[in-house]
Amino acid sequence: MIRFEHVTKTYQRKSVPALADLSLEFERGEFAFLVGASGSGKSTMLRLILKETNPTSGSIFVAGKDLSRLSSWKVPRLRREIGMVFQDFRLLPTKTAFENVEFALQVIGTPRSAVKKLVPEVLDMVGLEGKGQRLPHELSGGEQQRVAIARAYVNRPTILLADEPTGNLDPETAKGIMDILADINERGTTVLMATHDEKAVNRLSKRVVELVDGHVVRDEMRGHYRGAADESVISGAVPDGDAAGERQASAPFPGGSARASDVAYERFDESASEGERMGDLDRAFEETDEREEGEIA
Ligand SMILES: Nc1ncnc2c1ncn2[C@@H]1O[C@H](COP(=O)(O)OP(=O)(O)OP(=O)(O)O)[C@@H](O)[C@H]1O
């Protein structure tokens, strides 16, 4: 369903690759978490799947298509097969919950009769029955994320990508959101979720892929948020060998060895590039202007 073959991605003006020789496959219908420190490459993986940006080298296959061979006019069609959910919801503020979801169908030319049927159905599915006429600011954070999920799922994408969807939510609200994502996965959609939400990962017990500096350091089928190496860091034990030492030095989470200054720099870089990221749904269907990044498409 999604395959990365020796993918390296180096952004312009960066000496270190965001992803380095990454090879990984996600099967149809799978639910996988991407975990790792800020700047480890999780969002870059999601952007590559959406063809928002291109790899520097290597190949990516999504739903049977080699993205490097996908002509630009076919990119919107690719994105129709992929729903996307963000940490900050990205709803259109002047449109109601119903209209936000409706808009996703309108831009792909769905007939009015189908829109009328599908929007209430999906709003019910995410637990928003009776709240379709509310504007985003009249909804709680959890409810806004439900609208965003409804919008991403309304045309039944084969893949749902979620970038820290519970990052702005309290644990109980986050749990509700995770239940919806699990339900969507049960219905056959492949779900890939980048997250720092330890509880969500541990509760669902799905595949966990951990990235450190653009490398996969762990890939477990029924994984937990922290791997065995992280636990040894927390308990103070120092693993033997260079690789283990290096891994520990890059440990993403509390344990005494996370490189706080590096993380801060990465966050700074990210905020600089925030404008390049995918915005509201209307922009999501537009072609990526790779020239802004100075990349060769
Ligand atoms: N558009 C961009 N231009 C330049 N560098 C970028 C861009 N996007 C990401 N990077 C850099 O690529 C690296 C990986 O970033 P990425 O956003 O993929 O990490 P992440 O694991 O998703 O982080 P977070 O958990 O904070 O979302 C970082 O060093 C980051 O600064």
- Does residue 43 have its Cβ closer than 6 Å to ligand 1? yes
> 266: Cβ below 6 Å to ligand 1?
yes
pLDDT higher than threshold 50 for residue 101: yes
Residue 15: partners with Cβ closer than 8 Å, 6 or more residues away: none
Instruction: Tell me the CA end-to-end span of the chain in Å, nearest whole number.
Output: 23
What is the C-alpha to C-alpha distance for residues 193 and 56, in angstroms, rounded to an integer?
A: 23
CA distances from 203 to 145, 146, 224 (A): 20, 20, 9
Cα separation, 138 vs 151, in Å, equals: 17
Please tell me the distance between residue 45's alpha carbon and the centre of ligand 1 in angstroms: 10
pLDDT of residue 121: 96
User: Of how many residues is the chain composed?
Assistant: 297
What pTM was computed for the model? 0.80
User: Which atom of ligand 1 lies closest to the CA of 163?
Assistant: 27
Instruction: Note the pLDDT tens digit of each residue in 158-185.
Output: 999 999 999 999 999 999 999 999 999 9
25-39 core/surface letters (b: 16 or more CB in 10 A; e: else): ebeeebbbbbbbbbb
CB 206 within 8 A of CB 31: yes
Of 64 and 251, more confident: 64
Among residues 99, 58, 89, 95, the alpha carbon closest in space to that of 166 is found at: 89
Q: What is the ipTM of this complex?
A: 0.98
User: Which atom number of ligand 1 is nearest to the Cα of residue 277?
Assistant: 1
Ligand 1 atom at minimum distance from 164 CA = 27
Residue nearest to atom 15 of ligand 1 (CA): 39
CB atoms closer than 10 angstroms to residue 91: 25
pLDDT tens digit sequence for 207-245: 999 999 999 999 999 999 997 666 544 444 333 333 333
pLDDT for 227 equals: 78
Write out pLDDT tens, residues 103-128. 999 999 999 999 999 999 999 999 99
Cα–Cα distance measured from residue 60 to residue 44, given in angstroms and rounded to the nearest whole number: 13
1-27 pLDDT, tens digit each: 999 999 999 999 999 999 999 999 999
Q: How confident is the model at residue 252 (pLDDT cuts 50, 70, 90)?
A: very low
Average pLDDT over residues 42-62: 97
Evaluate if residue 97 carries a pLDDT over 50.
yes
- Ligand 1 atom 10: residue of nearest CA: 270
